[in-house]
Amino acid sequence: MRARAIVRRGARLGALIGAWPAGIGGVLCLVAAFVFLTGGLYGTARTLTAAAGLAVLGSLAVGLAVGTATGVALALAPRRLLARPVLRGLLAALTAGLPLAALSGVLLTGDGYTLASYPPSTHIVNGAVTLTIALVAAAHSGEIAGCDAEGRAAEG
């Protein structure tokens, strides 16, 4: 039962991590779709509306998967590792950050493109997003694992 609760808390954090970019991306796409709709470009508006739905669903799915994976990693970790906040945070950060870094690399290198095909700003934004998600997972690793600040199992 304890492992199930840890995974559930990880999934909840992942849903929150995925909700922020889902909301921002979805709203931006819908605003752009409205602008094109008022300009009479109905095909572009439909395409942007579909992109908004894809952005929301994709972001929520990736966030949920990352959070669940972080919860599973913390549930399977030995107690002595969970008792040390630095090691626990490092495990959570690596579990959340590495798959996102690999996913962004795979998505950017499709269709014959290489990572050198993109401007440096693209790499800075991808790195910042991955680092932010890894740091959020590390900061909440104690909450997910059910430990207090000193690494002891929290009551309740």
156 inside domain? no
Residue 126 CB contacts under 8 Å (≥ 6 apart), including other chains: 101, 104, 108
154 inside domain? no
152 inside domain? no
112 inside domain? yes
151 inside domain? no
- Residue 1 DSSP SS3: coil
Q: CA angle 87-91-95, nearest 5°?
A: 170
**57-88 pLDDT, tens per residue?**
999 999 999 999 999 999 999 989 999 999 99
Tokens 């090691």 map to which residue? 87
37 inside domain? yes
Task: Assess contact for 10 and 71: CB atoms under 8 A.
Answer: yes
What pLDDT is attached to residue 141? Answer: 93
What pLDDT is attached to residue 63? Answer: 92
Q: Provide the domain count of the chain.
A: 1
**103-137 pLDDT, tens per residue?**
888 888 888 888 888 898 988 998 999 999 999 99
Q: Look up the domain containing 68 and give its range.
A: 2-145
Nearest CA-CA partner of 22 in 56, 45, 68, 70 = 56
22 inside domain? yes
150 inside domain? no
